[in-house]
Amino acid sequence: MSKVYFSIGSNKGNRSGLINEAIDKIDIIIGKVVLKSSIYETKSWGFNSNNFYNICILLESTLTPELILNKILTIEKDMGRLKTTDQYSDRCIDIDILFFDNMIVNSKSLEIPHPRIQLRKFVLTPMLELTPDLIHPILNKSIRQLELECVDKDQPIKVR
């Protein structure tokens, strides 16, 4: 059983409802959700738009990283996410794999750990709730240390 951390975000429609729907689908299709952070609100990152709601979750799964990615893409598509460009844009749901045990994956379609964790308070702040002492397997720093060093000045606001 592998421990997998996800970040889930939404800035369109019923943001908290969409996040909860995604978590339910993940729990059924990918693996048992064992921990959830609070939901946080932040400004959009990389473009100007509606504020995002973000959450991090920990799940246990027997699936491979590649199979999990395929299932995430299916969940996003089924929930109405349309990927039209490589640029940041509004989205009803966005699911990213942050960590998969201590594994490092660097393929054309998947990078684990997520390559921008250390730049994003909207990921680091909810991850602090789940696992402040988790060590990033490439940067060799804890989530707590990464959050303290993060240059992102947009502090997430706890919604619930």
Domain boundaries, the chain: 2-158
**Strands, DSSP E only, in 62-135?**
94-100, 105-106, 111-112
**CA distances for 81 relative to 44, 53, 153, 154, angstroms:** 16, 16, 28, 25
Say which CATH superfamily domain 2-158 falls into. 7,8-Dihydro-6-hydroxymethylpterin-pyrophosphokinase HPPK (3.30.70.560)
**CA distances for 45 relative to 60, 77, 82, angstroms:** 28, 21, 18
**pLDDT by residue (tens digit) across 103-142?**
999 999 999 999 999 999 999 999 999 999 999 999 999 9
- Distance, CA of 135 to CA of 96 (rounded, Å): 18
pTM for this prediction: 0.93
pLDDT per residue rounded down to tens, the chain (160 residues): 999 999 999 998 899 999 999 999 999 999 999 999 999 999 876 666 789 999 999 999 999 999 999 999 999 999 986 665 555 556 789 999 999 999 999 999 999 999 999 999 999 999 999 999 999 999 999 999 999 999 998 999 999 8
Tell me the HSE value of 110 on the side-chain side, using a 13 A CA sphere: 19
For position 87, what pLDDT does the model report? Answer: 52
For position 50, what pLDDT does the model report? Answer: 85
